[in-house]
Structure 1
Amino acid sequence: MQELEDILIQSDMGMNIVLKISNNIEKKFSKGWPTEKINDFLVEQLMSFYDDPKSKENKINLYKKKLSPILVVGVNGVGKTTSIAKIANFYKEKNYKVLLVAGDTFRAGAVEQLSLWAERLEIEIIKPDKEQQDPASVVYKGLEYGKNNNFDIVLIDTAGRLQNKVNLMKELEKINNIIVKVTNDKPAETLLVIDAITGQNGVIQAETFSEISKISGIVLTKMDGTAKGGVVLAIRDKLNIPVKFIGTGEKLSDISIFDIEEYVYNLTKDLFEPDIQGENDGN
Structure 2
Amino acid sequence: MGLFSKIKEGLRKTKESMISGMQRVVNSFTKIDEDLFEQLEETMIMSDMGVETSVEICEKLRKRVKERGVTDPGKIMELIQEIISEMMGEDVALDLSTTPSIILVIGVNGAGKTTTIGKLCHQYKQQGKKVLVAAADTFRAAAIDQLEVWTQRAGVDLVKHAEGSDPAAVVFDAVTAAKARKTDVLICDTAGRLHNKKNLMEELRKINRIISQQAEGCAVETLLVLDATTGQNAVNQARLFNEVADITGIVLTKLDGTAKGGIVISIKNELGIPVKLIGVGEQIDDLQPFDSRSFVTALFERTDKGEEQANEADHTGDE
- Both structures adopt the same fold (TM-score exceeding 0.5): yes
What is the rounded CA distance, in whole Å, between the counterparts of 2:230 and 2:160 in structure 1?
Answer: 31
Of 273, 281, 284, 1:249 maps to: 281
Question: Deviations for 1:55-85, whole angstroms, at most 9, x for unmatched residues?
Answer: xxx1111123x21110000001111110111
Residue 226 of structure 2 corresponds to 194
- Residue 91 (1) aligns with residue 124 (2): yes
Corresponding position: 1:33 with 2:33: no
Partner residue of 1:221? 253
Cα deviation, residue 205, structure 1: 0.5
Corresponding residue number in structure 2 for 1:181 = 213
Between the aligned partners of 1:159 and 1:85, the Cα distance in structure 2 is 16
Q: Residue 11 of structure 1: CA displacement?
A: 3.4
Tell whether the 8 Å contact from 2:106 to 2:190 is kept in structure 1 after alignment.
yes
CA distance in 2, matches of 1:268, 1:4: 15
Determine the C-alpha separation between the residues in 2 that align with 1:150 and 1:69: 13
Please, what TM-score do these two structures have when normalized by structure 2? Answer: 0.79
Q: How do 1:125-164 residues align onto structure 2 when only pairs under 5 Å count?
A: 125-128=158-161, 130-164=162-196
Cα offset for 1:5? 3.2
Q: Where do residues 14-93 of structure 1 align in structure 2 (5 Å cutoff)?
A: 14-29=50-65, 31-35=70-74, 37-53=75-91, 58-64=92-98, 66-93=99-126
- So what's the TM-score if we normalise by structure 1? 0.88
Deviation, structure 1 residue 225: 1.3
Partners of 2:185 and 2:209 in 1: CA distance = 18
SS of match in other structure, 1:38: helix
Q: How many residues align?
A: 267
Q: CA deviation at 1:241?
A: 0.3
Question: What is the CA–CA distance in structure 2 between the aligned matches of 1:39 and 1:198, rounded to whole Å?
Answer: 26
SS at structure 2 position matched to 1:29: helix
In structure 2, distance between residues paired with 1:3 and 1:155: 45
Partner in structure 1 of residue 26 of structure 2: none
Residue 48 of structure 1, CA deviation: 1.5
User: Separation in 1 of the partners of 2:257 and 2:274?
Assistant: 21
How many angstroms apart in 1 are the aligned matches of 2:146 and 2:174? 17
Contact 2:224 2:251 in 1 (8 A): yes
Of 215-224 and 246-255, more deviation after overlay is shown by 246-255
Alpha-carbon distance in structure 2 between the residues aligned to 1:189 and 1:258: 15
The answer to whether the 8 Å contact 1:102/1:126 transfers is: yes
Alpha-carbon offset, residue 187 of structure 1: 5.3
The question of whether the paired residues in 2 share the 8 Å contact of 1:73 and 1:157 is answered with yes
What 5-or-longer segments of structure 1 have no aligned partner? 275-283
Which amino acid in the other structure matches residue 245 of structure 1?
L
Superposed CA RMSD in Å reads 2.0
CA distance in 2, matches of 1:10, 1:251: 30
Displacement of 1:181 in angstroms is 1.6
Q: How many Å apart are 1:273 and its aligned residue?
A: 8.2
The answer to whether the Cα contact below 8 Å between 1:71 and 1:187 also exists between their aligned partners in 2 is no
* Structure 1 residue 15, shift from structure 2 partner: 1.4
Aligned residue identity for 2:150? W
Aligned to 1:268: 300
Distance 1:131 1:78, change over 3 A: same
Which deviates more from structure 2 when the two are superposed, residues 188-197 or residues 229-238? 229-238
Q: Deviations for 1:209-261, whole angstroms, at most 9, x for unmatched residues?
A: 11101000000000111334211121112211000000111122211000001
Pair 1:103–1:88, CA change in 2 (3 A): same
Percent identity of the aligned residues? Answer: 44
Give CA-to-partner distance per residue, 1:71-105, whole Å, 9 cap, x none. Answer: 00000111111011112222222111111110000
1:203–1:231 Cα contact (<8 Å) kept: yes
Provide the C-alpha distance between the structure 2 equivalents of 1:196 and 1:81, rounded to a whole number of angstroms. 16
Deviation at residue 163 of structure 1 after TM alignment:
2.1
| Deviation (angstroms), 1:195 | 0.4
